[in-house]
Structure 1
Amino acid sequence: MLRFIRLIIYAIFSFAPLASAAQDAQLRRLDTIDDNRGWEAVGRLDVDGRGFCTGALIAPNLVLTAAHCLFDTDSKARIDHEKIEFLAGWRNGRATAYRWIKRAVVHPEYVYDGEVGAERVRNDVALLELHHPIRNTTVRPFDTNTRPREGAAVGVVSYARGRSDAPSLQEICHVMARQQGALVMSCDVDFGSSGAPIFSFVGGEPQIVSVVSAKATVNGQQVALGTQLEVPLEILRAELAAGNGYGSTAAGRVVAGSARRADGAKFIKP
C-alpha cells in the first residue's frame, strides 16, 4: 500500500514543489451533543459489512462521498448500493437518522483500478441518492463552494480507524497545492476518512470544497488528497438528472437479523 501511495504523489508532483503549510489545528473528537451540533449532516457510510467511509449531505436526499467507497478492494467489482447505509450524525452507537441508498452515481470517468495519478484522484467522487430524504431540523445539508486557493485554510470532519464511533473535527488545515484538478491538503486523515468532506469557512458557514480521496506522504509530511469539487460535482448532478447511475425502485429496509455496529467497524482505505 505504501508503494501505491508514493506512486500517486510522484505522478502528481514530479515537477511541482509543495507550499509550506501554516499551523494546523489538532483533531477534536465530537463526542457530545453540543460538540456535534451543526455537523449532524456528516455521517458514517456502512458498506455491506465490509467497512465504512465518511459522507455528507448536500441535499435532503443526496450524500456526497468518494467513488472508491463503492468498490470491493479484492474483486474490484462495484458493491451493491442497496447494501450501503448512511448513518447521519453517527455518535457513540446512535445516529440522528438512518437511510438506505436508492441510487448511486459515480463520476463517469472514474476507473477504480485504473492508472494511479491525478486523474484518478480528481474523479474519485460519487453521489448517493437516499430512499427517503432526511427532513430533520437538526440535520441541515451543507452548501458547496468553489475550489480553494493554494494556502487557503480548510477543515475536515471524518470518521477513521480508531475513531469510528464518533466524528472528529480538524478546524484548520491548509491547501498545499492544486495540480491537474486535484488538491493536496495538510489535513489529518486515516483509513475510513475516505469521502470525508473538506470545508471552507468563507462567511463563517462551512461549505464543502472537496472530499478525501487518499492519504499520502510528501517529503516526510502526511497529506490528504482530494478532488477540486466544482466541475466533478456539476457532472454528477447532470448524471443524476439524466437518470443515470445504479438504482432500483425497491424500498430500502433493514434485513432481518442484521445489526448496526457501534464499535469494531472495519475501515475502507482512503
Structure 2
Amino acid sequence: MKRLLLKTAICLVVTASIVQAQTGNQRRLTDRDDLYGWEAVGRLDIGEQGFCTATLIAQDLVLTAAHCALDKATGEPYAPGVLTFRAGLSDGRSLADRKVVQIAAPSDFVANNPVSARRVRRDVALMRLEEPIPYSIANPFALHSGRLSGTEISVASYGRGRTEAITRQRSCRILQRGQGIISFNCDVTLGSSGSAILAKSGPRWQILSVVSAVGSDGRRKVGYGMELSEIVPELKAILHRDAPRPAVTIRRIQPGSNRSTSGAKFISSDGS
C-alpha cells in the first residue's frame, strides 16, 4: 500500500477537468440555515488572479495550501492586502471580509516546482487576518487529533463552476494514508485547493488535511493532502516570530502632574 501511495503521489498531474456534482452527495450552501456550522469556510481571493478555499482555525488565523499563498513569479508570500478571506461567501455576499496581513509557509516549499509527493507534504500555509472575525459570525474549526474512526470524510469548498457559494460534499472517503500523505476520492477541482478535508469528531467536524492537488492513480481521479500534526505548530511559531511588534514610546512624566516634561521615564507597549 505504501509503495502504491508513493508511486501515485509522485505521478500527480494537476488537472483542470471538472467532475459533475454527484446528486445527493453534494449540497450548495446558499442561505443562512445552510451555512450554519460552515461559516468558517471562505473563498480566498488572490487579487484579480483567481481564488482558492481557506478555513478559519482561530478568530484571526486561516489555513490554506501554500501554493495559494505564495507568488509563483517570486516564490515569496503575497504582500499584505493582496489576499482577501471572504468567510461564508454566498452569491456575492460574505459574512465577513478580511485582508491577509501575514503569511507563514514552510521555507522548503517552492511555489513553482512541479507537483510531487514531497511538495504535497509541505503544501500548507497559515495566514493572519487584519482583524479577528467574531465567534458570533464564524466558529473556527479545530484540527483533528487522535485516531481516526473509519475512512469517511467531508469537504466544503469553492471551485470552478461553483465559485459563488460553498459546495459541501457530505461523504467521501480516504483511499490511502501513509508517508505523510492522505489520498481521497472527494470531488475537488480548480479553486478547491486549500480547502479543509474534515473528519468527524463527536458532534463536530475537525480538519484532518488540506487539499493540495488532484491527479489520477491510473483508474480514477484522486485528491491529495498532507498530515498536519507537525507542520501547523511549525507555521504558528513562524507567525509568532515574525509578527509585527507594537511601537514603544517613552514619555517623561513630571511627578504630581500629567504633563510630559521631566522626571521618571515610563515605557508603554501600547503607546499610551
TM-score when normalising by structure 2: 0.78
User: Within the alignment, does 1:82 sit opposite 2:115 as a pair?
Assistant: no
Residue 63 (structure 1) aligned with residue 65 (structure 2): no
Q: Which residue of 2 aligns with 1:190?
A: 189
- How far is the alpha carbon of 1:88 from its aligned partner? 0.5
**Residue 136 (structure 1) shift:** 4.1
For residues 130-209 of structure 1, what are the structure 2 equivalents within 5 Å?
130-146=129-145, 152-209=151-208
SS of 1:201's equivalent in the other structure is strand
- Taking the TM superposition and a 5 Å limit, the aligned residue runs for 1:8-27 are 9=8, 11=10, 26-27=25-26
Q: Which amino acid aligns with 1:222?
A: K
Q: 1:77 to 1:185 in 2, by over 3 A?
A: same
Kindly provide the CA deviation profile for residues 191-228 of structure 1, in whole angstroms up to 9, marking residues without a partner as x. Answer: 00010011111212111111100111113211111111
Q: CA deviation at 1:124?
A: 0.2
Secondary structure of 2:89's partner? Answer: coil
State the partner residue of 2:252.
none
1:248 Cα offset (Å): 9.7
Cα gap change, 1:248/1:99 in structure 2, threshold over 3 Å: closer, same or farther?
Answer: farther
Equivalent pair of 2:104/2:238 in contact (CA under 8 Å): yes
Task: Read off the aligned partner of 2:99 and give its amino acid letter.
Answer: W
2: CA distance between counterparts of 1:216 and 1:151? 24
Question: Given that residues 176 and 182 in structure 2 are in contact (C-alpha distance below 8 angstroms), is that contact kept between their aligned partners in structure 1?
Answer: yes
Pair 88,216 (structure 1): closer, same or farther in 2 beyond 3 Å? same
User: 1: distance between equivalents of 2:146 and 2:160?
Assistant: 28
Equivalent position of 1:217 in the other structure: 216
Q: For 1:3-42, what aligned pairs fall within 5 Å after superposition?
A: 9=8, 11=10, 26-42=25-41
2:260 is matched with: none
Identity of paired residues, percent?
39
For 2:100 and 2:146, the matched residues in 1 are separated by: 28
Superposition RMSD in Å: 2.6
Partner of 1:104: 103
How far apart, CA to CA, are the structure 2 residues paired with 1:147 and 1:114? 32
Indicate conservation of the 8 Å contact 2:120/2:181, yes or no: yes
The residue type equivalent to 1:80 in the other structure is A
Q: After alignment, is 185-194 or 137-146 more displaced?
A: 137-146
2:42 match: 43
Larger Rg: 2
In structure 2, do the counterparts of structure 1 residues 184 and 248 end up closer, same or farther at CA, with 3 Å as the change threshold? Answer: farther
- Indicate if the aligned counterparts of 2:81 and 2:99 stay in contact, CA closer than 8 A: yes
Under a length normalisation based on structure 1, what TM-score does the superposition of the two structures give?
0.78
Which amino acid counterpart does residue 160 of structure 2 have in structure 1?
A: R
On the 8 A contact 1:159/1:192 being kept in 2, the answer is yes
32 and 212 in structure 1: CA distance in 2 versus 1, 3 angstrom threshold: same
User: Which protein has greater RCO, CA pairs closer than 8 Å, 6+ apart?
Assistant: 1
CA–CA distance in structure 1, aligned partners of residues 129 and 245 of structure 2:
11
Aligned length: 231
SS of 1:34's partner is: helix
Equivalent pair of 2:71/2:111 in contact (CA under 8 Å): no
Q: Secondary structure at the match of 1:167?
A: strand
Counterpart contact for 2:154–2:168, Cα < 8 Å: yes
**In 2, Cα distance between the equivalents of 1:84 and 1:154?**
28
